[in-house]
Amino acid sequence: MSRASPIPGAPARRGLVATAGLVLLSACAAPMSDVRVRHFGSTDLWEGAEMRLFTFDPREPRTLDQRIRLARAEIARDPDCRWADAPTEVIAEATARQGDAFADTLLAAPIICTA
């Protein structure tokens, strides 16, 4: 039996909070290098490249340039993927759309993978 929430929009917010929690927890999973970086696919595209969401250790906020450098290094380790050279403005805009709560721990960047 479903019970209505006394707060309008609360179920949607709970879903968003749960998703955000999973993203942040995944950033704490076993490191792929000396810096914890994980990436996930999304449904957004930029000039045919998939916009990937990169998550970083939430205990250490990083600048946009630091996150781009770490994400590029992570993709360089994958022989099936390459960085799509989008302008920094495209990456900053896509990252900002993910929300202020993740501003220093998330990056959205276009990646081209063959596998």
* 26: in domain: no
Q: How many domains does the chain have?
A: 1
User: What mean pLDDT comes out for the span 14-37?
Assistant: 48
Distance CA 113, CA 104 (A): 25
How many angstroms separate the Cα of 29 from the Cα of each of 23, 35, 67, 96, 105? 10, 11, 17, 24, 14
* 13: in domain: no
User: What mean pLDDT comes out for the span 6-34?
Assistant: 45
Residue 32 confidence (pLDDT): 40
Residue 51 confidence (pLDDT): 86
* 18: in domain: no
* Backbone torsions φ then ψ of 37, nearest 5 degrees: -135, 130
Residue labelled with tokens 């994958």: 78
* 93: in domain: yes
Measured in Å, how far apart are the chain's first and last C-alpha atoms? 44
* 63: in domain: yes
Name the maximum alpha-carbon separation found in the chain. Answer: 50
* 12: in domain: no
- Using DSSP's 3-state secondary structure scheme, residue 115 falls into coil
Determine the structural domain holding residue 76 and report its residue range: 31-113
- Residues 78, 25, 51, 84, CA torsion sign: negative
* 96: in domain: yes
- Using DSSP's 3-state secondary structure scheme, residue 29 falls into coil
Task: Convert the pLDDT of each residue in 42-97 to its tens digit.
Answer: 778 888 888 888 888 888 888 999 999 999 999 998 899 999 989 999 999 888 88
* 45: in domain: yes
